[in-house]
Homo-oligomer: A and B are copies of this chain.
Amino acid sequence: MRIGILGYGNLGRGVEFAVKENSDMELAAVFTRRNPADVKIFSENVPVVHIDEIKNWTEEIDVMILCGGSATDLPKQTPEFAKFFNVIDSFDTHAKIPEHFAKVDEAAKNSNHVAIISVGWDPGLFSLARVYANSVLPDGKDYTFWGKGVSQGHSDAIRRIDGVKNAKQYTIPIDSALEEVRAGKNPELSTRQKHLRECFVVLEEGADAEKVEREIKTMPNYFADYDTIVNFISEDELKKNHSGLAHGGFVIRSGKTGENKIHNHIVEFNLKLDSNPEFTSSVLIAYARAAYKFSKEKNFGCKTVFDIPPAYLSAKTPEELRAKFL
């Protein structure tokens, strides 16, 4: 299976390493908008190619992994490149998934390709956990907790405040809420009760710390509904202690069964990730294998994780899976 990578940032680099873990795959090429000579990749003997030439590679690539961002790259790239390749993306703007799906589905079906969108952990493995648990326990309540991990969107929002030079924001699940859910108490939790927001902020020289802190804590949508901790630190400290890419989270469904619904069940899926982009890219690569199998079966069009039989993600045969994993 010959893999292409489009976009060589944290995610693209993660895909490069993930391909090495899978002996049924090889990296065919990395595509970039930058000057290819400026893009240093880890793999030897793998070409770095300018995106303008990507259409010359349709015969050399079985699955193209789109490693761009959901804000501006993927809404254009996935429908565009699904015309030429089987593609995988990690589109994560939840509200726009139906629209994205429709566009990609049309492009993929018209050109006999397979596209799997919104692959990763949320959306992705967390979505799977929700569907499995909801299907098994129709009468129940869902909880998702994220973190501890950096939220890019919230960090960006802080950086847009006047007087802020740099910032990182951690989303932190509140332990006591998590424990109540795990104990089957089915609490009604407000936004504030589920997550805490902790910010590490580097100020511009002469900026008013009190004013910045107030602006952060009262920012609608991003912070106003949360308990927020603001720490002011130096740029050096930010780089040294807050450059990590760890993340994670918890999907829990609590549901009732039986006569008079006296029995409660807790289904929990959780992740604790040292590197959010490397884990996400490992999921992308597993779904690349599924896309390849679907394309061999001529099962074209746009798919999501909900459409993929678990066995299609594995390099093992159905017989091996039944013998060793069932």
Contact = CB atoms under 8 A, between A and B. Distances in A.
B97 A131 contact: no
A188 to B, nearest CB: 19
A210 B123 CA distance: 57
Interface in A223-282: 257-259, 262-275, 278-279, 282
Interface residues of A, number: 68
A190 to B, nearest CB: 21
The count of identical subunits is 2
A282 B137 contact: yes
Given A21-B257, A263-B278, A283-B136, A321 B306 contact: yes
Contact of A132 (B125, B184, B307, B323): B125
B263 A274 contact: yes
A298 to B, nearest CB: 15
A18 interface: yes
Interface of A: 14, 17-18, 21-22, 42, 94, 97-98, 101, 118, 123, 125, 127-132, 134-139, 182, 184, 257-259, 262-275, 278-279, 282-283, 286, 289, 304-311, 313-315, 318-319, 321-323, 325-326
